[in-house]
Structure 1
């Protein structure tokens, strides 16, 4: 009867498999190896490993009795048992997800958000400090620039354009820092 029950259990658990896959060979060989080891162990306990014809008849009768009398009951009990364990497994997975993973993920995102917020505040503070410190220098440079004669400004712009490049670069940096 144990052979029949284990065959039904094996088929129920590994029933949704690709019958042409190479793993199927290992599944089948492993299953029948375990069955043979179990039966020979029982045979050893029962009559010290002597193999007689009535042993095969007993196995055949037990298998037939299982198929005729107990298979439907066993399959219902097996399905109920599998549903129970799957329910427990899903509950444990959800418990781990909602108790461990989700709070950890939320805490990590909160820490990252706080660090990014502090970074933005510090960056804006540094920019503001930079603008406050260099504002007087900028005013002085503007005054000097206005005092430069117009033909000298034109000459400087035409010859190198160096001051405009500095000014444009300076403005771009300021715009980037303000973002």
Structure 2
């Protein structure tokens, strides 16, 4: 390995140490969103470190064909320490501002989608269902009127036939009619409650 490659590797690992600090602080800040789910928390932590290790090895592979030396680990540690000492405070403030802007933007997008897409669709669907309900009620009233009009002459015929029925038969018919009228009253009471 040439001296130039060693210097490039060392400075790249210092920069990668700063990157690790930035990534870890960002990860810990975002971890608050799923902190209650312990299994997910540990799974994400493991995934984070596996991805960082793979990315580190990829960078090392590009720079010096993946050769790991002790000074590379020291350069990583030096970069992380530099981030903790010099940049962490400023980065945390910047991260909070960025997250605030991102969450505000996401809320704005959600409100716009709700206002422009969801509410009109719900309104149109409710109008369609209300119209169908009104049309159905109108058709039922019309059908009832037609049935009452058609059955009106039969009512008089039924009364004439009822006069010809003996008293025992009338009691039986009245019993059946009272049973059906109770059912009708119960149905009317339950529909009035609604």
Would the TM-score normalized by the shorter structure come out above 0.5?
yes
Matched, 1:156 2:166: no
Find the counterpart in structure 1 of residue 123 from structure 2: 106
Contact kept in structure 1, 2:31 and 2:41, CA below 8 Å: no
Matches of 2:80 and 2:168, distance apart in 1: 109
Deviation at 1:18, TM superposition (A): 4.0
TM-score after normalising by structure 1: 0.81
| Aligned twin of 1:122 | 139
Structure 1 residue 155 displacement after superposition: 4.1
TM-score normalised by L of structure 2: 0.76
Query: 1: distance between equivalents of 2:28 and 2:86?
Result: 19
Conserved? CA contact 2:20–2:52, under 8 Å:
yes
The count of aligned residue pairs is 170
User: Where does the alignment leave 5 or more consecutive residues of structure 1 unmatched?
Assistant: none
Q: What's the C-alpha RMSD, in Å, of the aligned pairs?
A: 2.6
Q: Does 2:86 correspond to 1:73?
A: no
**1:93, CA displacement in angstroms?**
1.3
Question: 2:25 & 2:51 partners in 1: Cα distance?
Answer: 15
TM superposition outliers: structure 1 runs of 4+ over 6 Å? 172-177
Residues 60, 169 of structure 1: CA spacing in aligned structure 2 closer, same or farther, 3 A cutoff? same
* C-alpha separation in 2, matches of 1:51 and 1:8: 25
- Residues 37-89 of structure 1 show CA distances to partners (whole Å, capped at 9, x for unaligned) of 12112222222222122211211111111111111111111111111211121
Displacement of 1:170: 6.6
Distance in 2 separating the partners of 1:174 and 1:24: 61
2:145 is the counterpart of 1:135? no
* Whole-Å separation in 2 of the counterparts to 1:93 and 1:22: 29
Name structure 2 gaps, 5 residues minimum.
1-17
